[in-house]
Structure 1
Amino acid sequence: MALCLFVMKYPLHLRENLRGKFDGQMAAMRALGHEVYCIGWNRQGMWLLGEGKQKMLMRCPLTRIPGYDHTFIFVDLMRAVRKVLKERKVDLLYWRYMPTFGNALGTAKAIKAQGGKLVMEFPTFPREEENRRSLLRRPVFVYADRVLHKLSPLIDLYTAIGQPCGGKIDDRPAMNIVNGVDVERFPLHIPNPGNREVHLLAVASMAGWHGYDRLLRAMAEYQGPVKVYFHLAGSDGDGSLSRWKELAQEMDLDDRAVFHGPLYGEELNRLVASCDVGVGSLGMFRFGLTNGMPLKLREYMARGLPFVYAVEDAAIPQNPRFCLKVSNDDCPIDLEPIVDFALRAKEDGEAPRLMREHARHHMSWQSVMNGVLERLDR
């Protein structure tokens, strides 16, 4: 059994959608027989979490400064990792890519000095595609890339989600992985037959690449007999949600575009149960992305909720009972095929179970993380 330490921005005082991914990865490693810890943070400082315990590692006086979680946190996380390494031997450090400042190099050297292995995950690959999303943060990423270049020789394996990496990144071993899902976290969807209303659902930290304005415009153009409602559950990541609210008002969709705000747990499950079709990202082309592995599509698969999406995703089965693909461009979306798809889904009681089985066998974090460990052992 190995001791694994996960390093990412893991907030203890905020409810963020990405925590589900992190929890799934760590649960998978535990299921594979390993001892797993991660570093979490809140307004007090950095904490070590694992094996049912939570221990204060260090206080961080800058946590209350606006923007801390986009700046100083990266330095504090590396300090926290060094503190863990002084207290125990870590066999595997799984490091989600983040801006790397000067003390990151010392952290990488410390894990190697113990004989441990270092894996770095790129949640969006190539990295440049993620960096282009924010003009203000570009100088930070330029500096961070210089630091990363220095510590890259210490990395045992890169894992990359996105475009094919070709087996190497910066002359180091690399492998593509997919976003997995902890299937058992989600209740199985039960279709809502017997009425002619269609309820579409988008769950996300709303941002421009989700492109939900395309669906709002399609609803405004739709002249069919079926009442269509679009539910949006999530916070405003970059101002897009506010613009979509204004667009819905301009197009007189106030009664059919329902903005719920962030929902979690049973409250979110109840909303999902009342809807017929999930909606994935529809605007990734606006950021130069043609391929992707959106986590939300895997969550829809795990729930057994049929969905509409736009980006190319090799892991999504091309089964017309499960999903409907629309164009990944700025062409107007025709709502009629989506309505027909939703009406069929409402009457298909078997599809949710089949979707869930596919997710269990092909999209689980356990299979993904097992592949990472096998590659490390080569």
Structure 2
Amino acid sequence: MEPTFDKFQIKVFFMKRKGLFIAFDNLTYNPNIINDTKPSEVNGLEKKIFYQINTFKKYGFEMFFYNPYLNRNSLIEKITRRLPFHFLEKWDFDFSAINSFSFIYIRKPWFMDGDLIFTLKKIRKIAPSIKIFLEIPTYPYDHEGKDFKMLPLKIKDKLWRKYLFKYVDRIITYSDDDYIFDIKTIKVSNAIDYELVKRKKILNSIDNSFNMIAVSSLYYWHGYDRAIEGLKNYYEGTHSKEVNLYIVGTGPEFVKYEKLIKEYDLENHVFLTGYKSGSALDDLYDKCIIGLDSMGRHRSGVSFNSSLKGKEYCAKGLIIVSGVKTELDLDGEFNYYIRVPADETPVDFVSVVEKVDNYLSSENIFDIQTKIMEYSKNKFDYEVALEPVKKYIDNI
């Protein structure tokens, strides 16, 4: 017999197909960010929030966005938030509406504090059955902030995160951890809008040079000094191919890289381009066949990383070289992936070139890039990546 639902049950079902997305700091949700914002003005985190919320909408949820800090972001409050027992006095949110939501999806704040914990406690009291997710983009993260001024925030985070297990149902993680802070995880991959970032021009052939690209904000954990050191060794020895590296972005390591390039006389092979976007970035991608993912994640204590940049490299049809374990290590179907050791040794580009040559000996570059792009579309598009979260919600 087919199951039947009375009008009240149907009304409750549709009422509960609502989700609340919470973010912190200065982050907002702009529903027109892709169409109305110049590429140079797009905040990468806000773009990710846009795609996550829109994906939940595609799944059939009515989504709402809230940031408790947007109206409380004065300089004084930014300073006092660092104090161990300082909380916001009140979130300007109508908590009587909490029962209308089936789930809350929270993007981890810069640091955990009592403000978040006591709010979650209040939500649990009002709506015991609501499902609460906390996304932690990088784990572990304790080694990411090296400045002394970060110490009060780290202490505050360690103090308050111990209480998360009382209120959070699942941690959304890009790591391979089964539990974080004694909370069961849902493992997902970082995701992309494939149609937006896919390669514009697929190569038909390549000459005797291999062009590589590394796009990042140039923090110490990106580790591209290992690549520069590796190219120094490569050109000092016998080499079969010309290998060039385009490092795209700005950040704390820029000056360090600049000095190394000059010291090793690599100005004709390593190019610091600064920030690029739009067609200028596409032009660089179009000449490259290799993408360098993070080379120094071990420096921040991370042993597994699902980087957003790695997904973009896939969408661009690039052979990926990574210095940290990723989901590509676990997938026997993906053949165009090279892992180098997660340590301080220079990248062995003799070995990298040899492996790329092996790929090209059996397939042409056009077929390789096409296969990588199709793989990306099937594995890392947002609707695919967030499916485990949707399944969990649907089974509530």
TM, length-normalised to structure 2: 0.76
Correspondences of 1:334-349 after superposition (within 5 Å): 334-341=348-355, 347-349=364-366
1:155 & 1:194 partners in 2: Cα distance?
A: 51
Q: Partner amino acid for 1:268? A: L
Alignment identity in percent?
A: 20
Of residues 198, 203, 212 in structure 1, which corresponds to 2:210? Answer: 198
Deviations 1:189-221 (A, max 9, x none): 512624223211001111111111111112222
Instruction: Flag the structure with higher strand content.
Output: 1
Match of 1:5 among 4, 21, 30: 21
Structure 1 stretches of 5 or more lacking a match?
A: 47-57
Displacement of 1:164 in angstroms is: 2.0
C-alpha contact (below 8 Å) 1:187/1:269 kept by paired residues: no
Equivalent residue number for residue 53 of structure 2:
26
Pick the aligned partner of 1:229 from 226, 244, 250: 244
Q: Which amino acid aligns with 1:312?
A: K
Q: Name the residue aligned to 1:55.
A: none
Listed as ranges, the matches of 1:60-139 within 5 Å are: 60-62=73-75, 82-83=92-93, 85=95, 89-98=100-109, 99-112=111-124, 113-114=126-127, 116-128=130-142, 130=144, 133=146, 135-139=148-152
- Give the deviation of 1:130 after TM superposition: 4.6
Counterpart for residue 166 of structure 2: 153
User: For residues 275 and 172 of structure 1, do their structure 2 counterparts lie closer, same or farther at Cα, with a shift above 3 Å needed?
Assistant: closer
User: Could you tell me which residue of structure 2 aligns to residue 244 of structure 1?
Assistant: 257
Structure 1 CA distance for aligned equivalents of residues 373 and 307 of structure 2: 17
The one-character-per-residue Cα deviations of 1:208-241 (angstroms, maximum 9, x if unpaired) are 11111111112222233533221111220xx222
Which of 1 and 2 has greater Rg?
A: 2
| Corresponding position of 2:186 | 175
Specify whether residues 84 and 161 from structure 1 end up closer, same or farther in structure 2 by C-alpha distance, changes over 3 A only: farther
Of 285, 292, 296, the match for 1:272:
285
Q: Deviations over 1:295-353 (max 9, x none)?
A: 22122112222221121123444568522222222223222233345565694211222
| 2:340 aligned residue (318, 322, 326) | 326
- 8 Å Cα contact 1:78/1:104 also seen in 2: no
Structure 2: distance between partners of 1:177 and 1:187: 21
How many residues end up aligned between the 2 structures?
A: 353
Structure 1, 200-209 or 94-103: larger mean CA deviation: 94-103
Determine the C-alpha separation between the residues in 2 that align with 1:176 and 1:198: 34
Aligned to 2:267: 254
Judge conservation of contact 1:192–1:274 (CA < 8 Å) in 2.
no
When residues 325 and 191 of structure 1 are mapped into structure 2, their CA distance, relative to the original with a 3 A threshold, is farther
| Cα offset, 1:8, TM superposition | 4.4
Counterpart-to-counterpart distance in 2, 1:320 and 1:169: 28
Q: Which residue of 1 aligns with 2:376?
A: 359
Corresponding residue of 2:8: none
Contact (CA 8 Å) 2:140, 2:302: kept in 1 or not? no
SS in 1 for 2:352: helix
1:186 to 197, 207, 217: 197
Distance 1:8 1:178, change over 3 A: farther
Residue 277 of structure 1 deviates from its aligned partner by 1.1
* Distance of aligned partners of 1:365 and 1:85 in 2 relative to their CA distance in 1, 3 Å threshold: farther
Report the residue type matching 2:191 in the other structure.
Answer: G
Q: CA–CA distance in 2 between the matches of 1:319 and 1:356?
A: 13
> Partner amino acid for 2:297?
M
Q: CA deviation at 1:270?
A: 2.3
Q: How does the TM-score come out when normalised to structure 1?
A: 0.79
Q: Distance in 2 between matches of 1:263 and 1:110?
A: 45
State the shift of 1:182 in Å.
2.7
